[in-house]
Amino acid sequence: MRLSRYFLPVLKENPAEAQIVSHRLMLRAGLIRQASAGIYSWLPLGFKVLRRLEEIVHEEQQRAGHMPMLMPTIQSAELWKESGRYEDYGQEMLRITDRHKRDMLYGPTNEELITDIFRNAVNSYKDLPLTLYHIQWKFRDEIRPRFGVMRGREFLMKDGYNFDLTMEDALHAYNRHMVTYLRTYERMGLKAIPMRADGGPIGGDYTHEFLVLAETGESEVFYDSAVTDLTLGDRDIDFDDVDQCRAIMEEFTTPYARTDETHDEALFGAIPEERRRTARGIEVGQIFYFGTKYSEPMGATVVTENAERVPVHMGSHGIGVSRLVGALIEANHDEKGIIWPEGVAPFPVGIVNLKQGDAGTDDVCESLYGQLIKAGLDPLYDDRNERAGSKFATMDLIGCPWRITVGPRGIKNGVVEVTSRRTGESEEMSAEAAIAKLTTLLADR
Amino acid sequence: MRLSRYFLPVLKENPAEAQIVSHRLMLRAGLIRQASAGIYSWLPLGFKVLRRLEEIVHEEQQRAGHMPMLMPTIQSAELWKESGRYEDYGQEMLRITDRHKRDMLYGPTNEELITDIFRNAVNSYKDLPLTLYHIQWKFRDEIRPRFGVMRGREFLMKDGYNFDLTMEDALHAYNRHMVTYLRTYERMGLKAIPMRADGGPIGGDYTHEFLVLAETGESEVFYDSAVTDLTLGDRDIDFDDVDQCRAIMEEFTTPYARTDETHDEALFGAIPEERRRTARGIEVGQIFYFGTKYSEPMGATVVTENAERVPVHMGSHGIGVSRLVGALIEANHDEKGIIWPEGVAPFPVGIVNLKQGDAGTDDVCESLYGQLIKAGLDPLYDDRNERAGSKFATMDLIGCPWRITVGPRGIKNGVVEVTSRRTGESEEMSAEAAIAKLTTLLADR
């Protein structure tokens, strides 16, 4: 993309209404713009990040055999009355009356709707196991929306639902989801720790939240530092392998890690002192096993091999996709702006032309731009007539992980400069070497 | 995808509530399920088609330099009061009151919101031309929703908005959009004819609707048959070339083609009789130039080279993405089911194993399945223990353009059968030849 043709309305000043750094940077870097309280428009740069996160979520869910679909945003109140949650949900549910005076609502979650789809379509144990999920906008009418997309009213969420014949199968689905979530966050460059959680309005006998450590987190968390050393890396995972998924779940949940809701002072005290940590965390996902809580009252049953009719065992699983953009920035920024992890950067490489209009620098920039596009690296070329300082400031603010700087002096020596946004380190090399280096570094993206 | 693991709840019976063929087939083939009146859940197969259409729209818009973004579904009523459309819109607008008693609404279109974003971000003629678009769910509270996704209440639409300094520039944007729309429909395998239209509530001095001919269309249309012979094909298009875009617009809009709203009996009568056609059409898109209708009252202005402040010239452009799924089926089906054009098929190739569990057929099917995946052809393998007749019926119903049938007799002769869903013609060949043939045929997809 050529910056001269891109819609990137960056702000010079810090917006007064933004209290936390991610909100400030998302406004300043032209990622979002508030439409009304707690409701945002995603400008091209922000939309690109959001779309990238969606892609990663889709890929990791489908890798585990989960089926993408899409439920609508507006639901009838009928199903919620059937499950008994219509009254429970309180004022956070956006209630709507349509022109025929029917009670509708903007879905805050989809247990009822998916259970209804299941009970109408599935009748036999042979069609299990089944996991359906979607990535859809939700609405929660927060009394005091704040912190930008971190606590907005309209937000994008992946929510998935598993249907299994037995508790044992459903617990495999639980573990399998934990593995997919760990993979998802790792690919995004985030360290998200699974912590024992509380069921809340969804309910659930087993539930873990995934928290990203950040000073601005809404939850106080307590953990054994051993948990932050764990990574999945590129190990080969067979999502049908019950033992392997259980072993990974155990590996990641054995070290103590809890939020203040489930914190146990005695267990925490038993951790060697040098590994005891207290911090703040941002919740970016949660998984639940809740058995027959919805299937029983709503009649979501299957016929077993022995011709018995039994309610299915269910769980649900959520990833806060729009909120993740904020969490990523909270965990990856400095005083100059955002520092995108390579896996989620909207533009992984920026090109800065120090002397726009100079035949020499223009030529090298155009050639680099063309070759990077060909290599699939989606570069952002700052081809505007601006001072070098202003171009550097923009690249730093919007957080391109790699910058290639092209100036007349370097060209005389046959080199360009490659700079890492994260470390600030620069290296001079030929344009060809720069392309080879970045192609290798960004190969996994 | 293995059908044994896919969620494809096909219906044997014709659903009583469905009056038109696309609605019937979308329910029967497990593409959608009604959630409430005029509101649908998209099951995995339907979601896959919807996503494919979205991709094509994104690719064609970005090819022309238009910027993707995303505006929210819920809007504040304030901006609509400012433009004067809040009262005009009537009962089709879904009006909502939030917990703080503020007037909100579910956006039926986004002229106000995008103009607000523009006026806050852009100040200079140097930032023009600019076209922003998004693909987002809309809501229109139809009094009598019907015909499935063709006249639903919650529907997915691409809507885009151009901002230009002069009327001349804005008319280039108009022509450029016409070209992108023609390309989009052609890639989807649809013949959509641009017809002179009426401005309606959007307003507009210049406007064309794009109509797909189908017996169940809601509009009566009148046209010169010469218009249906026109195709863009693979001609090279430079979207910055004002003359080329205007020439294409003229080429496609010179033959008479109008809906009953703008029909002119005298002009129609002047067409040679053998080329005069009356038919019905489904509207799948519309483009508008409306000048300063929104920019003037809402103060969306830029400073010109001569330091004057002038309102920008605007247009808007819509493609009914969810409705297109219905239109595609209306135009592509037979008594057995859907016949997807190759460009939009959820699974371009189906594999039918005539004797599941037979070592010979299983081996050949597994090998074909693996190789087709490797070739990027996204096959659907019917690996269920079902009769051949039932497997053929499912493939015909869901409309895979190509079917490879593998049976014990063919294997003895070293051949599989390749069948075209559209023509019904079959050909025997080796498995290798089948892969080579389909890879070539589907290369453009």
Beta bridge partners of B173: none
Parts of chain A belonging to CATH 3.30.930.10? 3-338
CA of B225 vs chain A CAs: smallest distance (Å): 39
Note the pLDDT tens digit of each residue in B274-301: 999 999 999 999 999 999 999 999 999 9
Whole-angstrom Cα distance, residue A208 to residue A441?
34
B87: left (phi over 0), alpha (psi -120 to 50) or beta: alpha
CATH number for the region B349-441 comes to 3.40.50.800
Mutate which of B67, B117, B325 to disrupt the A interface (most A C-beta within 10 Å)?
B67
Protein fold of A3-338: BirA Bifunctional Protein; domain 2 (3.30.930)
Mean pLDDT, residues A291-314 = 96
Q: pLDDT-based confidence at A445, cuts 50/70/90?
A: confident
**Closest residue to A39, CB basis, from B42, B72, B137:** B72
Q: What is the count of residue pairs from A and B with beta carbons less than 8 Å apart?
A: 143
Mean pLDDT, residues B194-212 = 83
Task: Report the greatest alpha carbon distance in chain B.
Answer: 82
Residue indicated by tokens 């048959």: B225
C-beta neighbour count of A65 within 10 angstroms: 17
Mutate which of B4, B51, B58, B70 to disrupt the A interface (most A C-beta within 10 Å)?
B70
**Closest residue to B7, CB basis, from A70, A91, A130:** A130
CA of B161 vs chain A CAs: smallest distance (Å): 13
Parts of chain B belonging to CATH 3.30.930.10? 9-338
Whole-angstrom Cα distance, residue A422 to residue B380?
44
Q: Over the Cα atoms of chain A, what is R_g? A: 24
Note the pLDDT tens digit of each residue in A367-376: 999 999 999 9
Inter-chain touch B98–A73, beta carbons under 8 Å: no
From the number of C-beta atoms within 10 Å of its C-beta (0-12, 13-18, 19+), residue A173 rates as buried
CA of A127 vs chain B CAs: smallest distance (Å): 8
pLDDT of residue B84: 87
Whole-angstrom Cα distance, residue B282 to residue B214?
7
pLDDT of residue B139: 97
What CA–CA distances, in Å, run from B358 to A342, B4, B362, B409, B412? 48, 16, 6, 12, 13
ipTM score: 0.96
Instruction: Please name which of A259, A194, A262 lies closest in space to residue A228, comparing C-alpha atoms.
Output: A194
Parts of chain B belonging to CATH 3.40.50.800? 349-441
Could you write out the three-class secondary structure of chain A? CEHHHCCCCCCCCCCCCCCCHHHHHHHHCCCEEEEECCEEEECHHHHHHHHHHHHHHHHHHHHCCCEECECCCEEECHHHHHHCHHHHCHHHCEEEECCCCCEEEECCCCHHHHHHHHHHHCCEHHHCCEEEEEEEEEECCCCCCECHHHECCEEEEEEEEEEECCHHHHHHHHHHHHHHHHHHHHHCCCCEEEEECCCHHHCCCEEEEEEEECCCCCEEEEEEHHHHHCCCCCCCCCCCCHHHHHHHHHHHHCCCEEECCCCCHHHHHCCCHHHEEEEEEEEEEEEEEEECCCHHHHCCEEECCCCCEEECEEEEEEEEHHHHHHHHHHHCEECCEECCCCCCCCCCEEEEECCCCCHHHHHHHHHHHHHHHHCCCCCEEECCCCCHHHHHHHHHHHCCCEEEEECHHHHHCCCEEEEECCCCCEEEECHHHHHHHHHHHCCCC
Sign of CA dihedral B398, B1, A62, B401: negative
Higher pLDDT, B197 or A410: A410
Inter-chain touch A106–B76, beta carbons under 8 Å: no
Q: Can you identify the CATH homologous superfamily of domain B9-338?
A: Bira Bifunctional Protein; Domain 2 (3.30.930.10)
Inter-chain touch A68–B76, beta carbons under 8 Å: no
Report whether A167 contacts A188 (CB < 8 A).
no
pLDDT of residue B360: 95
Mean pLDDT of chain A: 95
Give the residue from chain A lying closest to B4, CA to CA: A127
Inter-chain touch A44–B132, beta carbons under 8 Å: yes
Note the pLDDT tens digit of each residue in B402-424: 999 999 999 999 999 999 999 99
Q: pLDDT-based confidence at A202, cuts 50/70/90?
A: low
Percentage with pLDDT > 90 across chain B: 92
**Closest residue to B70, CB basis, from A42, A78, A132:** A42
Amino acid at B294: Y
Q: pLDDT-based confidence at A198, cuts 50/70/90?
A: confident
B65 contacts on A by Cβ (under 8 Å): 5
Note the pLDDT tens digit of each residue in B220-245: 999 999 999 999 999 999 999 999 99
Long-range contacts, stretch A292-297, CB < 8 angstroms, 24+ apart: A293/A203, A294/A83, A294/A111, A294/A112, A294/A115, A295/A115, A295/A119, A295/A163, A297/A82, A297/A83, A297/A84
B75 contacts on A by Cβ (under 8 Å): 35-36, 39
Whole-angstrom Cα distance, residue A195 to residue A199?
12
Report whether A131 contacts A67 (CB < 8 A).
yes
Give the residue from chain B lying closest to A31, CA to CA: B69
Question: Looking at the predicted structure, is the pLDDT value of residue A337 above 80?
Answer: yes
Inter-chain touch A7–B44, beta carbons under 8 Å: no
pLDDT of residue B442: 93
pLDDT of residue A205: 66
Question: Looking at the predicted structure, is the pLDDT value of residue B203 above 80?
Answer: no
Give the residue from chain A lying closest to B27, CA to CA: A121
Percentage with pLDDT > 70 across chain A: 98
Inter-chain touch B132–A7, beta carbons under 8 Å: yes
Report whether B109 contacts B153 (CB < 8 A).
no
